[in-house]
Structure 1
Amino acid sequence: MRHPVLPTHLLQQARHYSPKKGTQRGVSLIEILIAVLVLAVGLLGVAALQANALKTNQSAVARSQAAMLAYLILDAMRANRDAAASGAYNLGSLDNPACTAPTASNLATSDQAYWLGKLKENLGDAACGAIRCTTASTATTCTVRIRWDDSRAGGSDTQRFDVATRL
C-alpha cells in the first residue's frame, strides 16, 4: 500500500532506518542534573518571595491595628467629650509619646491605661502613644500619635501613625 503523503523512495528509506550503535538515545544524566538545578533555583526564588510577602503583610497588619487603636481612644474621648475638651485625655507629647500607662483614678486615665495596654498587646512592648487636644472657640481638635517598632517586618525601627479629628 502506498503512503498518501510520502513519496515511495522516502518511505522505503524510513522503513530501513536503524540507529547506529553508540548513538545517543534518551536523556543524559547531565541534562537531568541541569534541569534539577534550574528547578531548585526557581523554588528558592519562590520561597524568598513568599518570605518577603509575609514580612510586608505583617507590617500592613500593624498599621491597620494602629489605625483601629487610634479610633478606639478617639471614640472613648467622644463619649467623654467634656473631659477631652478640658485636656483630661492629654497624654505625653507628640514628640515624646507616653510608653507607660497612668494610674487609673478617673474615667479619662482609665481609658488611657486601657488604650496603652491595647497598644502594647497589639503592636509590641515598644509601642507608645500620645494624645493632644486643643480647644479653639467651640471646636476641640484632638491628635493621636502611635509609635511602634517595625524592624522585624522589614520597616524602620520606629513607625508612626497620626490621626487628627475634631470632637
Structure 2
Amino acid sequence: MVAVVILALGLLGLAGMQAKSLSNDLSAYNRSQATQLAYDIADRMRSNVTVLANYITPSPSTCPNNTNPCTACTTAVLTCTPAQLAQKDLFEWNRNITATLGNGATGTISNPGGAFFTVTVSWDDDKDPVTGDLNFAMSFGP
C-alpha cells in the first residue's frame, strides 16, 4: 500500500515535469521565431535604405487584414517605388508575426536617434492576459 502511494506521487511528479518541459519548449520556439522575424525586417530595411524612415512604426503594429497594400510589388517585374516596397515589407512582416506568434503579437520599429534602429517583437508567451508579454528587441545599423 505504501509502495503504491509512493509510486503514484512519483508518477505525478513525472507528469508535472513533462508538462513544464513542454511549456518551456514552446517558449524557446517562440523566442527563436521572434529573433528570426526581427532579423527578417532588419534585412529588408538594409536592402531598401533610401526610405528607412518609412519603416518606423511608433506604436505596435499588427496586420489588420489580409489585403496587401501594394500589389505592384508582387508581380514578376517589380514596378513599385522604394516607399511602396517598404509598405509591402511591413505588411508581410506583420502578417508573419501574427501567423507565427499568434493573434496579439506585435512588432515595432523605432529610431531613437542616430543611425541605429530598434526592432521589437512582442507576444503573449503564457496566454495569460494578466501577466506581461515577452518581447525580443534588437538594435542594428543599416
Shift of the alpha carbon at 1:135?
6.7
The 1-side partners of 2:19 and 2:6 are apart by 20
Contact 1:124 1:148 (C-alpha < 8 Å) held by counterparts: yes
Kindly indicate whether structure 1 or structure 2 has the higher relative contact order, using CA contacts under 8 Å at least 6 residues apart.
Answer: 2
| Count of paired positions | 126
Identity fraction in percent? 34
Contact 1:127 1:146 (C-alpha < 8 Å) held by counterparts: yes
Which position in structure 2 is the counterpart of 1:108? Answer: 86
The 2-side partners of 1:158 and 1:73 are apart by 21
Q: Determine helix, strand or coil for the equivalent of 1:151.
A: coil
Between structure 1 and structure 2, the one with the greater Rg is: 1
Is 1:98 the counterpart of 2:58? The answer is no
Which position in structure 2 is the counterpart of 1:8? Answer: none
Q: TM-score, normalised by structure 1?
A: 0.68
Structure 2, unmatched stretches of 5+, are 71-83
Structure 1, unmatched stretches of 5+, are 1-32
Select 2:110's aligned residue among 119, 132, 149: 132
Which position in structure 1 is the counterpart of 2:96? Answer: 118
Cα RMSD for the two superposed structures: 2.2
Which position in structure 2 is the counterpart of 1:82? Answer: 50
The 2-side partners of 1:133 and 1:143 are apart by 6
Shift of the alpha carbon at 1:134?
6.2
Contact 1:89 1:133 (C-alpha < 8 Å) held by counterparts: no
